[in-house]
Amino acid sequence: MNKFIVDTSDTYFLDDIYKDIDTLCEKYSSILSKMVIGKSVEGRDIVAIKISGKKDEILRCTQDDRKVLFVGGIHAREDFSVMLCMKMIDYYCHYYSDRKNFDGFDVRNIIDLVNMYFVPVANPDGLNIVHNGIEASSNYEALKVMQIWGEDHTYWKANANGVDLNKNFNDGNWEIRTCVPGTEVPCSDRFKGFAPSSEPETKALINFCKENNFSLMVTYHCSGNCTFWADSGTHHMFNGLDEKIMDELNKKYIYRKTKVSMDPKVYGCGFENWFRVKMKRPAFCIELSPFVEGGKQHPDSMFDELVWEHAKTTGLFFAVKAIELSNEIYGDVEKYAALTE
């Protein structure tokens, strides 16, 4: 069997992603499991994957299981975010099993201390549209009259109802959230929906978060090698911890720290904004890959060079932060030092 399962040399199609999830769960059955957290508009499974160490030993944690959540593919066209989640799962399981450090991170010890959850494809119907055209959607009759903002279907960001999921979360700002002219109706990107949290994909993520007490959440997007890490509605809640984490990320990685988002009419209703308000924990949006005007995506074949080389340990970085944060929240004095070199 190959050392690694996930192949990111070129476009990563949905069928292969679902197949690889099953293969990975089989190969790493002692630490990896999958669960279906909801169904998309077209009835596809929205899958969450959990990496959990110490399965057959008593957890060392004294409080609730520590958990951290990573989400990719909320925006249909952002292939790199999906590829990154899948490849991190593959690599982290490999290094856990081999008891080897990965780029300075003690993978085994980290995963024994925190459960890592991934939703690699939050918007599977959208990904299918980007790869195979709107004709490939079972909602084609509705989609064919919708405006595509961009040259063709590869610019699609929304789900199969033409709703931009990252403007559909009910963080209390839905009423005031503004739409760019032309995006007040279902279309390929930026329509916030006819009602807050109206979409099945939105609901699946909301329910999943409510069922789990994640210490923090990271959502991957694809534009500009920067991070959106705080908004004016919630920044005060975290006592500087969100900024501390971002400053550390900034030192170690290429992702530029942006200013606190100030206007809820503009930032409102994203998944990360909802998470901060409702779950009362920090949430970070990481924009992978260099900015391209007009939302055009880089070729999938450039993933390793543009994304993986820079982002491959970000999952472990945030897992360590989740451990630190949960210790801070719960006042746990357990030793977790020396997780990184």
Residues near Zn ion (CB under 5 A) are 75, 221
Q: Residue 163 CB, nearest distance to Zn ion (Å)?
A: 14
**Which amino acid, 37?**
I
8 A C-beta contact, residue 284 and residue 218: yes
Nearer to Zn ion, 75 or 87 (CB): 75
Closest separation in Å from C-beta 108 to Zn ion: 33
Rounded to a whole number of angstroms, the minimum distance from the CB of residue 127 to Zn ion is 13
Q: Which amino acid is at 277?
A: V
Contact yes or no for 200/38 (Cβ under 8 A): yes
Q: Are 102 and 109 in contact (CB under 8 A)?
A: no
User: Minimum Å distance from CB 236 to Zn ion?
Assistant: 26
Q: How many other C-beta atoms lie within 10 A of the C-beta of residue 135?
A: 10
- In this complex, which beta carbon is closest to Zn ion, that of residue 75 or of residue 108? 75
Residue labelled with tokens 């491959």: 312
Q: How far is the CB of 1 from Zn ion (least distance, A)?
A: 34
Residue 40 DSSP label = -
Least distance (Å) from Zn ion to the CB of residue 75? 3
> What distances in angstroms separate CA 196 from CA 69, 182, 302, one per listed residue?
22, 19, 36
Name the amino acid, one letter, at 293: E
Q: Residue 26 CB, nearest distance to Zn ion (Å)?
A: 31
Q: What is the phi-psi region of residue 173: left when phi exceeds 0, alpha when psi lies from -120 to 50, beta otherwise?
A: alpha
Round to whole Å and give the CA distance between 82 and 91.
14
E strand intervals along the chain: 32-39, 45-51, 67-71, 115-119, 216-221, 226-228, 256-257, 283-287
Give min distance, CB of 227 to Zn ion, in A: 13
Nearest-10 Cα torsion for 207, 213, 216, 217 = -20
In 155-199, where does DSSP find H-type helix?
none
Instruction: Return the sign of the alpha-carbon dihedral for residues 120, 126, 127, 130.
Output: negative
The DSSP output letter for 228 is: E
Closest alpha carbon to 64 in 338, 327, 333 = 327
| Least Cβ distance, residue 214 to Zn ion (angstroms) | 20
Return the H-helix or E-strand segment holding 242.
Answer: helix 241-252
Of 226 and 325, nearer to Zn ion (C-beta) is: 226
